[in-house]
Amino acid sequence: MPRKLRFFVPGAPVHVVQRGNSKADIFFADLDYLEYLRCLKQAADSDGSEIHAYALMTNHVHLLLSPQRVDSVGRLFQAIGRHYVRYINQTYQRSGGLWEGRYKCSVIDSSQYLLSCMRYIEMNPVRAKMVSHPGDYRWTSYAANALGVSNAIVQPHVEYESLGHTTVERNSAYRELFADVFDADALPAIRAALQTGTPLGNDRFKAQIEAALQVKVGHARRGRPVKPSQR
């Protein structure tokens, strides 16, 4: 079966997930998370991507980023793969691959889903029952986006900046988003788009992506809900 075509449009945010091989762990100590973040920062700066949100889980990572070029996402993950996998293999005296196949991704309509996707990513540790509050987990962008903690990796998106005129106002408004129950339609829509690689947005947004790329992008398939393990 041919690989599903990926869709990237410069400036359009992309939700990306990459998992460990056979869902095995990819982080084993605090230094591993720090090294991944170093690799991520270096790759984003080099390959033209702005990181808006992230969550580093024990066996997978979530990123929300805006690529500045069509090839930015691919180049970013190639760079991380080269450096981080070599670091893990050398540190733990192992060999072979670390990742499970290709990363999954979905272009998202920023005006409709960007803040929901940020919240979805930063709530991963809570859904995984690792912590009771997103602020209790160290390895996400929540502290930067909700608390104003300095983070050289995170670049605010214009939709996030529209939450307030000052950093304090934006932090406060963003925190309030976490007080509400997740929209009943947003959660399955984010998961379905990610699993199928189709754009996350309404028909108008999908038509805009098709016009920009001159290809059919399809729609997220309907069927059984995504299992909780597929966060």
Segment 47-66, tens digit of pLDDT = 889 999 999 999 999 999 99
Higher pLDDT, residue 87 or 206: 87
* pLDDT interval class at 217 (50, 70, 90): low
131 in a domain, yes or no?
yes
Amino acid identity for residue 116 in this structure: S
Kindly state whether residue 9 falls inside one of the protein's structural domains.
no
pLDDT of residue 196: 85
| Predicted local distance difference test score (pLDDT) of residue 1 | 40
What's 162's domain CATH number?
3.30.70.1290
The average pLDDT across 88-115 equals 91
> Could you tell me if 98 and 104 are in contact, meaning their C-beta atoms sit under 8 angstroms apart?
no
pLDDT at 222: 44
DSSP letters for 131-196: -SSGGG-TTBSHHHHHH----SSB---HHHHTT-SSHHHHHHHHHHHTTSPPPTTHHHHHHHHHHH
Summarize pLDDT for 2-40 with one digit per residue, the tens.
Answer: 455 567 888 999 999 999 998 899 999 999 999 999 999
- Average pLDDT along the chain: 88
Residue 231 lies inside a defined structural domain of this protein? no
Residue 141 has pLDDT above 90, yes or no: yes
187 CB-side CA count, 13 A? 13
Q: How far is CA 178 from CA 87, 126, 171, 174, 195, in A?
A: 35, 11, 11, 7, 24
Q: Which residues contact 2 (CB under 8 A, 6 or more apart)?
A: none
- C-beta separation of 98 from 85 below 8 A: yes
| 7 part of a folded domain | no
Residue 2, domain member (yes or no): no
37: part of which helix (H) or strand (E)?
helix 30-47
Instruction: Report the predicted TM-score, pTM, of the whole model to 2 decimal places.
Output: 0.88
Owning domain of residue 204: 14-224
Q: Average pLDDT of 107-113? A: 89
pLDDT band for 203, please (50, 70, 90 cuts). Answer: confident
E strand intervals along the chain: 14-19, 49-56, 60-67, 104-107
Please name the residue that has the structure tokens 């984003």: 44
Confirm whether 1 is domain-assigned.
no
Residue 212, domain member (yes or no): yes
Whether the Cβ atoms of residue 147 and residue 171 lie closer than 8 Å to each other: yes
In the chain, the number of structural domains is 1
Our separate counts of H helices and E strands in the chain read 9, 4
Label the pairing between strands 60-67 and 49-56. Answer: antiparallel
Residue 4 lies in a domain: no
